[in-house]
């Protein structure tokens, strides 16, 4: 699912959210169960400070988190607040198995197709 969330300020680009569910077969031969894994990708415009791209993978209560920043100054600011975010995830019952914070190229859009089946406006 692809969502575009309006920004708080008129000059701010809208936030984008991409949600994908994936069913993963267990390796055990005797078990026919499948685990559900969620992939969440969010692109945020932080105004003059730059852009962030966050990729999260959630399986059961395990969280794998990758955060990419468009520049070093924003990377440092996120690094200061990251421990608070990780603590909040723990309070919500998630175990943060792995997290990374790094510079990266932020895509122009998260949209994978030029047209969506459903488009909504607030």
Is 81 a member of any domain?
Answer: yes
| Residue-number span of the structural domain to which 93 is assigned | 14-21+36-110
Interval 17-74: pLDDT, tens: 999 999 876 555 445 566 899 999 999 999 899 999 999 999 999 999 999 999 999 9
Is 41 a member of any domain?
Answer: yes
Q: Where are the alpha helices (DSSP H) in 25-91?
A: 72-91
Angle 36-42-44 (CA atoms, 0-180°, nearest 5)? 170
Q: Which of the 8 DSSP states describes residue 39?
A: E
101 contact partners, CB below 8 Å, separation of at least 6: 67, 69, 75, 78, 79, 82
Closest CA to 95 of 86, 104, 103: 86
| CATH for 97 | 3.30.750.140
pTM: 0.80
Query: What is the arithmetic mean of pLDDT over 77-96?
Result: 97
Structural domains of the chain, count? 1
């Amino acid at each position: 699912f692809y969502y575009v969330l309006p920004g708080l300020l008129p000059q701010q680009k809208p936030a984008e959210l991409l949600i994908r569910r994936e069913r993963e077969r267990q390796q055990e031969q005797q078990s026919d169960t499948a685990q559900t894994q969620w992939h969440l990708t969010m692109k945020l415009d932080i105004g003059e400070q730059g852009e962030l791209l966050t990729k999260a993978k959630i399986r059961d209560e395990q969280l794998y988190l990758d955060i990419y920043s468009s520049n070093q100054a924003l990377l440092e600011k996120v690094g200061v607040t990251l421990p608070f975010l990780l603590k909040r995830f723990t309070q919500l019952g998630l175990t943060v198995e792995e997290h990374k914070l790094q510079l990266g190229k932020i895509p122009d859009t998260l949209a994978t197709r030029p047209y969506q089946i459903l488009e909504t406006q607030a």
